[in-house]
Structure 1
Amino acid sequence: MSEPLQERIAQAMADLEATQAAVARAQADLSHASATVRSKDRVVEATVGAQGELTGLKLLDNKHQSMTGPQLAASIMEAVQQGRAQMAHRVMDTFAPFTQPGPAGSARRGVDVDWNRIFGSALSGESRAGSSRPGRNRLRDEIAEDDESAG
């Protein structure tokens, strides 16, 4: 037999409060998070905050003095993009549990998040070492492109 309505409501409220507390903890943890990365040529070190903002930039060992402006700009852009991608993935990993349905019997349904819309260019054109978890829509896009090219 099913539980009385009052018990189900109480359980749903407890689940909601637990989820709200977990989200608040995740937000607090991320408010102090950052990623520091170096460009491949090891000329630039960029630090990026949880919202993708550039919080630090270092030119290492005066290597930049032998570079042209466009070369230095490319190194800076590369390091910043890598940092933004790292932080975007960290945010996605932190909030992933809230995008999944709750355990059996739970009222929590999970939230469908469009990470590409949230992070934009931070997720495009980068690859994370050891990760095979691209954006949700990227696979659909590739399937659609395969269908179009086959026709």
Structure 2
Amino acid sequence: MTTDHRAQVDELLADYRRSRDQLASVQRDLAGISASATSPDGAVTATVGAQGTLTGLELTDAAYRLRPAQLAQLILRTTREAVAEAGERTYRTLSPVLPAGTDPEALVRGTADLRPEEIAPPPPKRPRVVEDDEDFEQRDWLNVETPRGSR
């Protein structure tokens, strides 16, 4: 019987090691995700990492001919396109390792299988009212009269 338990333990350890290796591989793949997008006029190229963090921004000479507000909008639109592409790559990387029926986009957003009421922010906390029987009003303890006969 001890041999059976040892075999089960060995099998569990092997499963654990395979799971850790797979997790490490997925983590490496996620860390390597990068996506770029270029504006239709070619003036702006934005590059983002897996979480959508802007990691690179290239502006051509044409970008400097735009008004500041136009350039800002073009940068934002182009960055959003790169973020969407990085998100798609992230979802494709996660899909094979997730349980069947799990939405990788919801998982990355942090909502996974949660219902809307579970995601809603908690109601604001009301301040605690502490009922205190002790009186801490300022008193002049040196000039307190002592009742006669207690000295």
Verify same fold: TM over 0.5: yes
Task: Using CA pairs under 8 Å that are at least 6 residues apart, name the structure with larger relative contact order, 1 or 2.
Answer: 1
| TM-score category, normalised to shorter length | 0.5 to 0.7
SS of 2:41 mapped into structure 1: coil
Q: Report % sequence identity.
A: 29
Please give the root-mean-square deviation of Cα atoms over the aligned residues, in Å.
3.3
Task: Establish whether residue 92 from structure 1 lines up as the match of residue 91 from structure 2.
Answer: yes
Question: After the TM superposition, which residues 1-150 of structure 1 pair with which residues of structure 2 at under 5 Å, given as runs?
Answer: 11=11, 13-60=13-60, 62-101=61-100, 112-113=102-103, 115-116=105-106, 118-119=108-109
Q: Tell me how far 1:29 sits from its aligned partner.
A: 2.5
TM-score relative to the length of structure 2: 0.58
CA contact (8 A) 2:95 2:104 kept: no
Between Structure 1 and Structure 2, whose CA radius of gyration is higher? 2
SS of 2:36 mapped into structure 1: strand
Q: Provide the C-alpha distance between the structure 2 equivalents of 1:72 and 1:117, rounded to a whole number of angstroms.
A: 33
The one-letter amino acid paired with 1:26 is: V
Q: Provide the C-alpha distance between the structure 1 equivalents of 2:36 and 2:47, rounded to a whole number of angstroms.
A: 4
Q: Give CA deviations for 1:17-74 in whole Å, capped at 9, x if unaligned.
A: 32221121121132233112111222100110112110110102x1112212221111
SS of 1:36 mapped into structure 2: strand
Q: Structure 1 stretch 9-18 or stretch 47-56: which is displaced more?
A: 9-18
SS of 2:27 mapped into structure 1: helix
CA contact (8 A) 2:46 2:57 kept: yes
Q: Which has the higher helix share?
A: 1
CA contact (8 A) 2:98 2:104 kept: no
TM-score relative to the length of structure 1: 0.58
